[in-house]
Structure 1
């Protein structure tokens, strides 16, 4: 007998596989998708291992395979296991990261009547209501009952009626979510056929088809000829043309407007970096490089020439960017160097586009795959090079759902499994990354000088403005005198301006000036943000919305004040202060449509505006030579948050946004407005001095025993009852302390319990524990966490 260890798509499967017998008539391979029985249901599963002995005494048979080929290639099976074990996620959730888009299908619960007849008088009103609904329709999807009765109540009532024999439950798989796209084509049957007797319309279509070298889409033929389907069907009956369904690819990239580019001449530093990377690629052994280059130092050119070296070695690459907003500009650069050999994967593509791109990548059609963090799981065969641009960005960590993986660590593990080379690029590397490079764990490559607009070009001049002095001088504007003057000079001189503020919306909170009441979200422990254009208040955590009140809800006073500023308010103030300057805003409130990022960037690059106002989207990766001034409206916004990485993140953000200036012949200037001008992060960013920042930061990390000198795990418990939430966290703290003592573990310390920074989120109170030490994944893997706990190994933030 043959047996398979299968990861099953069920929440109760957790981090384990299940043993199944392989029927003699099925050919099953590792990585193959299968249908398996699981309880009363038929569920999807992925085969992770084949064996001659099962892990349990009694096994059930695999029902069938889903498709003839494995959906996971060999390296991704151990990668999925590693993600599950390291980040303590359910195994199938780790596997699902690597599956084709639209693959997962849930089992729907179908409720049907039975033949049993019973006096319904003994039933409750709700039970009679459910029974009557099912009797009327014969069979009902349980989700329909849940909409009527609620998600908790409906299953309870159904279970009661099932136990009484009045209803039965069965399970059906949901519909296939996405399929290959087929389009109707028309073709000529015989090109050498003489023109027969035809009507005028038939003759037009027949002559058109004789001019076509290959089948054409019927929609195109109809548009070109004006012929109806009836005329075409007449030609089909005469054996002159034929219709056929042809599979077509949904292509998210249009290469028509992208000009082919040639490799640029490299500086000495770039050549040294490229040689090191190329040697590692040709050696075929895993290696990790940190490419530390100042903004504008030509890191992208090193990336592209490294990829060209990988392609010459019959290998392929993956290029990761931190934001979907950066993808269009990155695609254009790489597509110009690798025409028609670049794929893109990200969540703003339609499901059909993602499906087609994934399958074309797996078939080996592309040399390069570009995308945000999820693109690391693209099925790129013969993987030789993984590039993570702006490797310091926190968006490479998946925080909103399990698994809470970090792309950098996943990429390094994937490189170990495939023999690929990893290049981590940044002007402001993560402190832990730079520490590992100095320790020799990674190979450090330096690009210390700018190459734009020419080799050795100076970094932009940075001026720090103390906003406390501005207030003393009577200036209560959002703009310091220095910034206002610089904006006017830049616009008058034909330059463009980027104004950066890392808060969206209008006012960041609304307060009654009589009683002090602040309007807060009903579901979260945060103040509501005013959005000027819609005239509403919005919670930026759960998206709760309410109209702007005319009077205070507590004291009925009309003295309501809008305080704080976001990008909408900044845009309004720019209009008042610089009325002749055209302006654009780039934040998540104006980029809901798929092409919004490209449109806003294109308009600014085409000089349709002099001033671009934005959040962190404008801070990363933009290369616009006409930008001569960058103004940071509030440089210390996140500096004093209760997180040990607050200073690091502030320094990185300021350094990155400052790097957008001075990339053209006109040079550039940066103005940082702040109430904390003496802070070491502000001073280091103003001096473009990463070394000074690093020395200060690593000293504090060592003193306080924070990463990279230890590992962290963030444990958060959430519940609708605040008292129960606190008690469960205290209970878990006691259990963990007792467990460390029982095992004789001395290097794990526990901080907390304490309320989370966002104490109430989406209606649930949150308390947290922070574990500090080594071997945290192994230690926590055996802990019986009840429902409601979320574990984040190696968190990028503690708030």
Structure 2
């Protein structure tokens, strides 16, 4: 007789539910406040928290602001009940850890708040508030957009169109959509170049627009051009205009060149051509006139537009001395007389830094940053060069900011505010005309000196700093003479140019 025993299966041990973690973030508000404020993260958004990213919070009874996440922790504030974060704007940091370290140093050294530093550092288009305004981008009004729009985006665009170009505040955008969380919709429209953002009416983006002309599409082929010349045989002034256009825009070699056209001023300002003949051709439909938004600097589209140049003997010697001193010191003063060719030495050093995989910041005083020097640098570095200048709109400055973050711009030439850009692997900083007073910010706070900030960035990131001047600041020259900085001198002008004669006259 066999016995069969049935053993009961052991009861499953209940799995403990994971502890619900409540996160808090300390944020830097773009306001002159003496401390950071703590906000609570909605549980379902715990995975979205990014240090250095922007979030939307309520500050006060009605005001909403974008701010930067400085820290994430699980400790609630003791003095007040933490409000919830309203919305996360960014999936990745727009402010890097090296920047946050630099901003803290600036606030301590120049006796201001972190909020004042953030307010000065971030382009206005990265700072959103309930009083921010949006407007349709001029490029969208003329060319449209290749990107599809969802329902919310289309409602905003339709509302901006019906308002006849009037801007909408963020509060009004919320009313149009009937929701409180709409900032990602704004961000999406900005990324599609459909709208631009500004803080005050005075900051409204006014793009640089040039009037251009091109041949009407049905006159582009060779047969049509020949027939056109036969038709205009009795109108020599109009033929002269057409010949000039075809000389500058050779559509007979490539018909697609006609799409770019030619600046109208190239025809109307010529002493050998008649402006009325140009206008007659436009009126008769032979030439088409159109507007084109252009950059305020002639940015080159070639990825690597190398321009060969050769350093002379004095420049080569100075370059080698700088490199030797960089092995011993982090800061070197290049004391070169006006016209000695310091810029060529800078370019050679920038090339070497880029070849080593580093980033480069080239600072210039406001008055020295001209289209001429930008064009010169573009011929060497092509689209790797970014320009950060007060003549650019807020949206253009954001493009440079994001270009540095993504690695698109490895070299940036800019004025004093360029020290705030999100570099994280700088190899070289160049401060040209380091004695200039325009490197000093006087008002509002932070009242910083970009030269001193550049020295601290070099210290934080392990980068070399080259100070250049024909007339160094007293304190800089003293540090070089004392051996704290390296010192390299260029005493002769480039080429055969001589120094001016100086005579002291006792009056």
Shorter-normalised TM-score: what interval? Answer: 0.5 to 0.7
Aligned to 2:394: 351
In structure 2, distance between residues paired with 1:2 and 1:419: 34
Residue 181 to residue 60, structure 1, CA distance change in 2 (3 Å): closer
SS at match of 2:190: coil
In structure 1, distance between residues paired with 2:37 and 2:78: 9
Residue 57 to residue 385, structure 1, CA distance change in 2 (3 Å): same
- Ranked by relative contact order (alpha carbons within 8 Å, sequence separation 6 or more), the top structure is 2
Aligned to 1:462: 502
Is contact 1:105-1:176 (8 Å) kept? Answer: no
Deviation at residue 349 of structure 1 after TM alignment: 1.6
Does residue 51 in structure 1 map to residue 96 in structure 2?
A: no
SS at match of 1:352: helix
Is contact 1:278-1:309 (8 Å) kept? Answer: no
SS at match of 2:39: strand
Pick one of 370, 377, 385 that aligns with 1:334.
377
In structure 2, distance between residues paired with 1:75 and 1:259: 31
Residue 342 to residue 222, structure 1, CA distance change in 2 (3 Å): closer
What is the aligned residue count?
A: 346
Pick one of 286, 289, 298 that aligns with 1:253.
298
Is contact 1:386-1:423 (8 Å) kept? Answer: yes
Does residue 180 in structure 1 map to residue 191 in structure 2?
A: yes
Output one character per residue of 1:289-329: Cα deviation in whole Å (capped at 9) or x when no partner: 11111112221111111101101100121111112453322
In structure 1, distance between residues paired with 2:329 and 2:482: 18
Deviation at residue 279 of structure 1 after TM alignment: 5.8
Pick one of 35, 40, 45 that aligns with 1:16.
35
Aligned pairs for 1:544-623 within 5 A = none
Aligned to 1:304: 347
SS at match of 1:75: helix
SS at match of 1:36: strand
Deviation at residue 402 of structure 1 after TM alignment: 1.6
Does residue 453 in structure 1 map to residue 491 in structure 2?
A: no
Output one character per residue of 1:497-535: Cα deviation in whole Å (capped at 9) or x when no partner: xxxxxxxxxxxxxxxxxxxxxxxxxxxxxxxxxxxxxxx
Aligned pairs for 1:400-419 within 5 A = 400-419=443-462
Query: Which blocks of at least 5 consecutive residues in structure 2 are unaligned?
Result: 1-21, 133-168, 170-179, 195-216, 221-255, 263-292
In structure 2, distance between residues paired with 1:372 and 1:3: 37
Does residue 94 in structure 1 map to residue 117 in structure 2?
A: yes
Pick one of 264, 267, 274 that aligns with 2:313.
267
Deviation at residue 336 of structure 1 after TM alignment: 1.9
Output one character per residue of 1:40-94: Cα deviation in whole Å (capped at 9) or x when no partner: 2322211122334356454333222122111101110011111111112231120
In structure 2, distance between residues paired with 1:100 and 1:20: 24
Does residue 30 in structure 1 map to residue 48 in structure 2?
A: no
Residue 256 to residue 367, structure 1, CA distance change in 2 (3 Å): closer
In structure 2, distance between residues paired with 1:108 and 1:172: 15
> TM-score normalised to the size of structure 1?
0.39
In structure 2, distance between residues paired with 1:280 and 1:75: 26
Query: Which blocks of at least 5 consecutive residues in structure 1 are unaligned?
Result: 110-142, 144-170, 184-200, 205-215, 224-247, 467-676, 679-799
Pick one of 3, 19, 25 that aligns with 1:4.
25
Residue 222 to residue 293, structure 1, CA distance change in 2 (3 Å): closer
Aligned to 1:621: none
Aligned pairs for 1:622-641 within 5 A = none
Is contact 1:364-1:380 (8 Å) kept? Answer: no
> TM-score normalised to the size of structure 2?
0.60
Is contact 1:181-1:249 (8 Å) kept? Answer: no
SS at match of 1:339: helix
Residue 408 to residue 54, structure 1, CA distance change in 2 (3 Å): farther
The answer to which structure has the higher strand fraction is: 1
Deviation at residue 390 of structure 1 after TM alignment: 0.3
In structure 1, distance between residues paired with 2:502 and 2:322: 33
CA RMSD, Structure 1 to Structure 2 (Å): 3.9
Residue 106 to residue 37, structure 1, CA distance change in 2 (3 Å): closer
Deviation at residue 252 of structure 1 after TM alignment: 4.0
Aligned to 2:98: 75
